[in-house]
Amino acid sequence: MNAWLHAVRPKTLVAGAAPVILGTALAFADGVVHWPSVPLIIVCSVLIQIASNFINELEDFKRGADERRVGPVRAVSAGLITPRSMRNASIAVVLLAFVLGLPLAYHSGWEVLVMGVACLTAAWAYTGGPFPLAYRGLGDVFAFVFFGLIAVTGTYFVHARAWSMDALVLSVGPGLLAANILGVNNIRDIPTDAAVGKRTFAVRVGSTTARWVYILFTATAVIVPSVILGQHRGPWLLLPLVSIPFGAVLCTMVLKRHGAELNTVLANTAVFYLVWTVLMAVGIGVSY
């Protein structure tokens, strides 16, 4: 059971739940929230994240990407879970996410079905298939698009059955912070990824540039949605700026730490994402 818990990677699940919380908060502020859909959206989003984690474990094992890993133990590579069991679990999670998403598509339209299928396909294409995104330096783009743009705007669409420009602006925060979680992971793994031909964004641009990108993403995620949305939704949207000192500490840590030392930064980046999400959700919720 411990092995499966490791494979789920609980600390990464904030990337699946946070955009749903924010999209729902915006729908609540706009008076269009559909409460019966909330549990299903959260569960489906988290299941997509878990599916991505499972497939990532399996595909990285096949390519030998975890053989000299300095991060947390990977269950398949460590022999704690067999590749066949992980493959079956991945399929089961994908099918469960698809089935649970059908009521959302029935409620809000075919667009939701298309987004759901796209997310599930991307979860596989991240490290699987003939063109694995993570191995081509596109993993960060994947995180931004699917755990930011699509997750927030899609959640809002489920509620309102309409698109929202504010949801698009809001999605910049989750997208960049999700990319940062992946980014720290990839900065830490530059030597081992390069050795097996895993050309992540961090491998391509180098450690120094990747660290400054983390800082840029942090600043943009915290400041841009608050400033733009605050202009017409009120000063409560500036509440997330309270998280700036926390973000500054993380940015300093990213610049100074190396190898296994970055594991702490990785965990705290997820915590920072959660803190920012709570502050933004509260700000949106009280601004209506």
Residue 201's pLDDT band (cuts 50, 70, 90) = very high
CA distances from 23 to 49, 73, 97, 233 (A): 17, 33, 19, 15
Q: Which are the contacts of 11, defined by CB distance < 8 A and separation ≥ 6?
A: 266, 267, 270
Residue 246's pLDDT band (cuts 50, 70, 90) = very high
What confidence tens digit (pLDDT) does each residue in 117-143 have? 999 898 888 888 788 888 899 999 999
* 81-105 mean pLDDT: 94
CA torsion angle 193 197 202 203 (round to 10): 110
pLDDT above 70 for 69: no
* 204-218 mean pLDDT: 97
pLDDT above 80 for 245: yes
What is the Cα–Cα distance from 240 to 225, expressed in whole angstroms? Answer: 9
Phi-psi region of 161 (alpha: psi -120 to 50; beta: other; left: phi over 0): left
Query: Measured between alpha carbons, how far apart are the two ends of the chain, in Å?
Result: 44
Residue 79's pLDDT band (cuts 50, 70, 90) = confident
Residue 27's pLDDT band (cuts 50, 70, 90) = very high
pLDDT above 60 for 179: yes
pLDDT above 90 for 76: no
What is the Cα–Cα distance from 191 to 163, expressed in whole angstroms? Answer: 42
* 161-170 mean pLDDT: 97
Instruction: For residue 159, give both structure tokens.
Output: 């509620």
Does 283 or 192 have the greater pLDDT score?
Answer: 283
pLDDT above 90 for 14: no
Cβ 154 vs Cβ 174: under 8 Å = no
- For residue 43, the model assigns a pLDDT of 94
- For residue 65, the model assigns a pLDDT of 63
* 5-16 mean pLDDT: 85
What is the Cα–Cα distance from 227 to 106, expressed in whole angstroms? Answer: 36
- For residue 134, the model assigns a pLDDT of 84
